[in-house]
Amino acid sequence: MNELTLDKIDFAILTELQHHGRLSNQELAQKVGLSPSPCSRRVKALEDAGYIAGYSTLLNAEHFNLALTVYIQIRLEKHTSETLEAFEKDILNYQEVQECSLITGSEADYQLKVLVKDMQNYKLFLLDKLTVNPNIAGIHSSFVLKNVKSSTAIPIN
Amino acid sequence: MNELTLDKIDFAILTELQHHGRLSNQELAQKVGLSPSPCSRRVKALEDAGYIAGYSTLLNAEHFNLALTVYIQIRLEKHTSETLEAFEKDILNYQEVQECSLITGSEADYQLKVLVKDMQNYKLFLLDKLTVNPNIAGIHSSFVLKNVKSSTAIPIN
DNA sequence: GCTGAAAAGCTCTGCTA
DNA sequence: TAGCAGAGCTTTTCAGC
């Protein structure tokens, strides 16, 4: 986790990798104008310094019949640290939840992004996992009609 | 893009890959209890059938001083298909926008997830990219105080 | 800090069962 | 559809610059 001063080539490497996570070192080297050896050394250094958090495979949700994305805003009853921690711990265990953030600027305390097969399964998620929680004071659901953009890339330039 | 009937091993492969996108075929094979050759053949079949959408590298936003995540709800003036299309086309070009969805169930038409360095840069994003758009009738920002969960994995089990 | 070459390791294809 | 074996690549290390 040493500090590293990134140059143009490092940014080029990261930009390439953000979009093509399984590019071979050889191809990557060619794209950024380096020979393979320094390229792999740089990638390794970027990993060791913590710039690269991990690699992931993106699946096609439609092929798994996961057709319903819902953004849920949740208001809690109390705001003690115990209540918040207990709620967050529960959320971490729910596979349907892709994102959960503590937010400010609206009436809600938390916003969740949830992925389920259909409305029936969303109902089950709400009933079995959220409404059973006595600390939840209010839930508001916004259903996604169309996914316009969805990117794991962050703006590093 | 043929249909494929996935068995337990295919699901195990995908689950492994969702979390460790750059696992070598050898390690993957070992984890799912197969020898390398059938494992690589299965991965290839899953790619060809479209189950795997791609591979990505996840970067550590904090190391790039990207410290502010904002969920923005946007209401449009008109709802003609031209207006929607023009708005969506703009959004696709903005690197700061990680997600954009057309939603129902709230007053807003779109929800965006935006990643910027700080409030100053968020102000610039709003002024230069959103408020200049004459079709936008209203904007509401919710700032992320704490990222509780963030996962690219979808619930395939 | 890069290049180039060599060794080690990995992936992939065809074959056998 | 799995496992095995060999050919072909890829990665990584080490001199040399």
Task: State both tokens at B39.
Answer: 């494992």
Using the C1' atom of nucleotide D10, identify the protein residue whose alpha carbon is closest. A26
| Domain locations along chain A | 8-48, 61-143
Strand C contact with A36 (CB < 7 A): yes
CATH code for the domain defined by B61-143: 3.30.70.920
Q: How confident is the model at residue B4 (pLDDT cuts 50, 70, 90)?
A: confident
pLDDT by residue (tens digit) across B16-30? Answer: 999 999 999 999 999
Average pLDDT for A35-52: 96
Q: What is the secondary structure of B66-103 as a DSSP string? A: --EEEEEEEEES---HHHHHHHHHHHHT-TTEEEEEEE
Q: What is the pLDDT of residue A2?
A: 62
Q: Do B144 and A103 touch (CB under 8 A)?
A: yes
Q: What is the pLDDT of residue B85?
A: 96
CATH architecture of the domain B8-48 equals Orthogonal Bundle (1.10)
Q: Do A143 and B61 touch (CB under 8 A)?
A: no
Q: Do A143 and B103 touch (CB under 8 A)?
A: yes
Q: By the 8 A CB rule, do B148 and B2 touch? A: no
Pairing mode of beta strands B52-59, A52-59: antiparallel
Strand D contact with A15 (CB < 7 A): no
Task: State both tokens at B11.
Answer: 């699901």
CB nearest A105 (choices: B66, B143, B148): B143
Element (H, E) at B139: strand B136-150
